[in-house]
Amino acid sequence: MKKFLPLCALVLPFALTGLANAGANTAQLNCSGRHAGETISLVGAIPASIVDVDLQLSYGAQTLGLASPQAEATERTDFRRGIFKLDVALAGANRLQLQAQPKSIKYKGSMGGGKLNASFVTTIQEAPEPFQAALKGAELRCSYAYEI
């Protein structure tokens, strides 16, 4: 036990420093598509390892900002297993939810390696007002870029 405590004292500060640096970046998301004859775009920063989000959702002539602290985002990404899910919650039940089509995911690199690029097709599961009725089920082609 006496040998274990000094070892922890030496290793823990370095481990925490690495975690802080790993969580310092967001990923860039760039999605576009067409639905009911109108152009859709979703562009901005999403949480790769931190919770800040700064997205712009555009449909036709309207644009909605989805940014922290008014918006809270959670992301689940495991491209090796065909998983990408993004949930951006606004006030009340107003939210944006995206889910990638697993077989469409193509990626290179890894977050652990410090650089990850991916492309995929995602489906809008839920859209915030004023797009709620118009965009549910719409498909977007997305690129995802993460780099430390």
Residue 12 lies in a domain: no
Sequence-ordered list of residues with C-beta below 8 angstroms from that of 126, at least 6 positions apart, any chain: 95, 96, 97, 132, 136
Kindly give the pairing relationship between strand 106-110 and strand 72-78.
unpaired
Q: What is the CATH number of the domain that holds 95?
A: 2.40.128
* Residue-level pLDDT at 49: 61
Residue 2 has pLDDT above 90, yes or no: no
Residue 16 has pLDDT above 80, yes or no: no
Residue 20 lies in a domain: no
- The mean per-residue pLDDT over the stretch 132-148 comes to 93
Residue 3 lies in a domain: no
Tell me how many domains the chain contains. Answer: 1
* Residue-level pLDDT at 65: 92
Residue 41 has pLDDT above 60, yes or no: yes
Residue 145 has pLDDT above 70, yes or no: yes
Residue 6 lies in a domain: no
pLDDT, tens only, 46-101:
887 666 889 999 999 999 999 988 888 888 999 999 999 999 998 877 899 999 99
Q: What is the distance between the alpha carbons of residues 86 and 76, in angstroms, rounded to a whole number?
A: 7
Q: Structural domain of residue 62, as residue ranges?
A: 25-147
Residue 23 has pLDDT above 60, yes or no: no
Write phi, then psi, for 8 (nearest 5 degrees).
Answer: -60, -40
- Whole-prediction pTM: 0.79
How big is the chain, counted in residues?
Answer: 148
Residue 15 lies in a domain: no
pLDDT, tens only, 91-128:
877 899 999 999 999 999 988 888 999 999 999 999 99
Q: What is the distance between the alpha carbons of residues 29 and 46, in angstroms, rounded to a whole number?
A: 7
Residue 34 lies in a domain: yes
Residue 8 has pLDDT above 60, yes or no: no
Q: How many CB atoms lie within 10 A of CB 108?
A: 10
- Of 91 and 133, the structure prediction assigns the larger pLDDT to 133
Kindly give the pairing relationship between strand 106-110 and strand 95-100.
unpaired
Alpha-carbon Rg for the chain in angstroms: 18
Sequence-ordered list of residues with C-beta below 8 angstroms from that of 44, at least 6 positions apart, any chain: 28, 29, 53, 54, 55, 56, 66
Q: What is the distance between the alpha carbons of residues 38 and 3, in angstroms, rounded to a whole number?
A: 66
Residue 9 lies in a domain: no
Write phi, then psi, for 112 (nearest 5 degrees).
Answer: -65, -30
Residue 40 lies in a domain: yes
| 6-10, 41-45, 48-52, 61-65: least confident range | 6-10
